[in-house]
Structure 1
Amino acid sequence: MSDSFEAHAFGVHGGMHAGAGDINNIYYLLRTESFGASPRRQPTDELRWLRRRFVEPAGLGKARDVLETFRTVFLDGLPGSGRIAGAKMLLWELGDDRRQIHELVLQENENAPRIDRSHIGDGDLVWLDLSRVAERQWDEVQDELSPLRATVHDHDAHLVVVLPAKTGHLGSALDRYRIEIQRPAVEEVLARYLLAEDIPRPVPLPPLRFLDADRRMEEVDKYVRLIRRARDERREGSFMAWCEEAFRALSRQARDVAKQVAELTAGPQRALLLAVAMLHGAHADVIYRADASLLTAVAHPCENSPLLERVPLDQRLKEIGAEVDPSGSVQFEELDYDAALRSYFWAHMPELRDALQDWVKQTADSPDLSAGERRNLVERFTEQCLSERYRPTLVSLVEQWTADPTTTRKMEAAAVVVRHGLRDEQQARSFRRQIYNWARTDSLSQRLAEVIIVACRDEMMARHPDEALVRLHHVARRERGTRARETLIELVSRAPRLRRQMLTRLTDPKFVPGRWPRDIELFLQLADPEALTDPGRRDHAPITESTVRQQLATGWSLVFARRPHDVWTSTIRRWLHVAAEDERHRHALLDVLVGGGEAEASVLARLYAITCERKAWAPLGDLVIQDINAVWGARTA
């Protein structure tokens, strides 16, 4: 499989709207069904999709043995050998419902380790992709691999590291864990993809022009998708006819598009070409209006002939090689011709780009478009702007669509841009950085905050939960509602290591604890005594760690100093209830509470008074008095 392969989970469901007008509901995108599949299931769905198409490369069996025995394996091989797909499959085989599969990401902070080992939790299944690191980066990262492996072992986790090509010797301590894999035969991969798509094929595969060249695995994926489309859209023909049409779409379209655009010199013809390419599959009425608005956007002179003397739309479509199907949808006759046209106009007519951006911004908000048509339009424009050169265009669009006054349609369009960027293998890191920059903006609008929350919840949580946590925390500090905080708590509740990470952010001096008032509310929700005393898969409750107890005491001291007792009393009662029931962790819970309130005699008195509210808590009162005496005795000694 290809190192550049990435599986995606699709499916978008819109909301219901009864009546006229826009729904200006800032929580529209945050509803449970807003982006289809639950984010908790996305990794499983993607890996199951990959598993059905995976052909095991030579050497993966040895890698499996090393991973199971030593918890870490380094996958080596040439680009295209299947290292990343192999890494995911090795971890998938070890997975269960209680173990989190996620990716480690190299950190960019100066004077800090490139690998944050705190991102590895108990029993986690993680992979680290180093396949594209530059030589300078590799020298930095290599020194951190031994400590990383030790952390993995300490947490009973498993790690697969995808090495850069030709890394050379890893060192005597690590080289024994390196396994080289070889790319599987393209014919085998093609056969497996066809089987997964339920495309009937001769056995063995006949000679195919596609196989005459050395193919990367992403080309196999695209080729099979085109074969499937040829089968589904044509609804007739043979396997060889589908394959031939798919091959033409892969190999000849750039030349055919250039020839057609050169022949169609009239502005209205080219506008219709581009409108159909951007809205391919949309209803003819949508194409008609979009074509007219595109001509306006490029300041093309209006047609002055009487209405009844104008060329009918179906004839104009025929002139450009498009047709209206029985359902009223417009499509090009040639398979995937729309994608080639979009790429041609963007690359070879740069003077159109600004006008095209304005047209997309306007059209995406048109009530004429269905949710699917709007999504397709925005995704197709986003695809053209993913490179670093054009990414500011997408940033600008998202900010404009989420600026007040906005509409649900604009919000959906903004969310589509961000989601599409996060799912692009080459550009996802840049989009995560952009979300970070937005999240730290003090003037962050509620609308843009909602888009960020949805992106973190439905995309980043699945593969990069640590980065999602940081971005949600920044939004939660600045939002006027509670949605980011609720989403953040949901994320933290899934993994004890994320709770530890969040406690660090709320109490470590380098994060200036207490600077943000909303951090107090966050702490009170994170200070869940049931979660803190849960022993987990390794029989190791977080509150048994001295670092966690110190963080909790610091957090409670901030709560006691900055909030009245009626705010925190209910949480204290929960702590006392758990302390009364859980003898194993009773002293740790009470020590934290007394340690947090040691600077405030009134708080300690209030704490003792609460223990007297219930007969079952009476023994706790004696322990609290003992802790208070110990604390004050130490202070006066």
Structure 2
Amino acid sequence: MTEPQDAPVAGEDKAALSPGEQRLIPDLDRSNTTNGNMYGLQAGTVKGNVTILDATGSAPDLMLRRATAEEIDEVRKHFVAPQQMDKARRLLREHHVVVLWGRGSGRMFTARRLLVDAGCGAVIEMNRDRTPRSVKESDLVRGEGYIWDLSDSGGTPFADWEFDNLAALVRGKACELVIVLDRRNQVVGTAHDVAVGLTPPSAVEVAQATIRKLEPDAPEQPSTLLKSEFAEALTDEDRPEKAVRAARLAIRVARGELDAPSALAELEEDVRDAVAQWFGEQNGIEIPKALAVALLENQPFEEVMRHGMNLDQRIRSAELPEDKKLRPRRVFAKSKEALLRDIRAVPTVRDHPRHAGLREETVRFERQDWAKTVFWHVWGEFPSARDVLTDWMCDPAMLGRFPDATRRTLCAIIAEVPAHDPLRLVDQLATRSSVAQRRLAAAMLEHLADDHDLLPLVRQTLEDWADRGSAYRQWTAATVYGSPFGLRDLPTALLQLAKIGRTDRPSPQNAVVAGVLAMLGDQEHREHVLNTVVSWTNGQNRRNGLRTVSLSLGMWITGIVPSDLDSREFAEDYPDQVRTLVNRVLADPEFGDVALSQLADLAAYARWDERAAAALVDLTTLVAPNLRWWTRRSTVLTLVRTHPAWRTSIHHVFRTARRAQRAKR
């Protein structure tokens, strides 16, 4: 459980929504007309579609990076297969999709070899910031091979139906997909038949293959040294990364650059000790640049360096007296080659993921486990740097481009660095006015609950926020409950969302609507969630915030406000629930006014817009199944009594709907 909560941000509990936050509940105190498309829901007239979208911006590119010719050649010539390789090949050949799990087993290298063996024309890593449901057929190219690395993603990264839809797209496009996970329990039910658990290949064989790659002309002496000096230090449980380091050390010993005892000591040296020693030798630009590489490993070099310079300026500004100005760095102080050598990083030139014929350069550390350890060391040994690092990682430019990298790094820090209040950083982010930073806090809680065994602490924190948290803390809790985390214990999640929804604060109410809409996107749980929304619209909640939440949801679900939701599908699959929702929305004095405004707009456009006419017929037949004058008469009179100011418009709406219905026949 977190420490006693700080006071809310000034104006937090009274504020409506944060800047840039999509509005999903109507502002009933406003009356406005919006021409063109609009991202949110207001009271008044909306001419154009209302679209539900992620307030953080447009979706990132699906294709992250392409394997280089050197990487393809390496995996062809120097791959050491794990025991389960034949099974993985067979499953990929039969289903076009295979799921690999097992940390420290060389999953990414194995995935690349599987796609090469399958004859793929290109091997492409997909962006982990995208969701499976966001992939479209047009995103995939026939004959290409894709790797989706979802390690360190926490919980189950996708639902059964998402996996099924994605697998169908891949098969239909005749391409190949390898999904990489950490643990067996992350594999959803429908993916079990194509899942393979990997164990590390022989470490000695991996080291021998590495020597043949690095020393193709004279591998004999390093290979002999490897067997005589390093073999006992390599076990069957060791990760391939350790075997690669052993090979490099054997080569250095063979060249006379290092003696065998020193090389063996370096091989067995704990990475934390190695990082601490490296830090003790640095005092300049190398530290912020190393931290940038640690956060953004395998990302484009120029972006990593730009963020490194930004961190350098932040650090030097924090150390600068108030009466002094920051001196610029020397432009030609150190070459790229020298800098990367000093921070123990290496570049890779590869084909550009989007622009054919162009190339880009990415950067990573020489040692695979170096990145997280760099942050653990800085966070643990230099507490005064924490605020600077947090602000840098949570800067809008960083979160807009690399949200997942920030999430994984901060979660690793929380899980590994001792602290009396482990979730204090999450709590600080949850009280920020920035939507992106609160989304980060929510994603961190989901991740910590799964990958770092902090579920009891996360659960208690969420319950505390739902019970008595500030507006932004409740917003964050609602976002977590509306995520796949909440679907694992759906009754509890819906109870907590209802508790948060009863508040009179617009921001948490809006987050509850967003969370429930996300839940409705999961086909397996849709009916249960929809029934719960209907129950929220009953008279018991007439005087609390759940009225606003449930009726707002009713407007989205029924299609009164057009959105990306398929309201016709809802009406066909759950006619009773949808009919109840639309009638309760129209029966409400305030929400009914908003709904009638939308219907009046549809009626105005119905003469020349077939889609508007079809939507009008769909909605009015939910209220009055038979649109003939005599049979709809009682329904129309009831609406007129509830909304007398809309009398003329109500009659016009139903006359127009009947006319459109007859014309359609």
Structure ranking higher on relative contact order (CA contacts 8 Å, 6+ apart): 2
**TM-score, length of structure 2 as denominator length:** 0.45
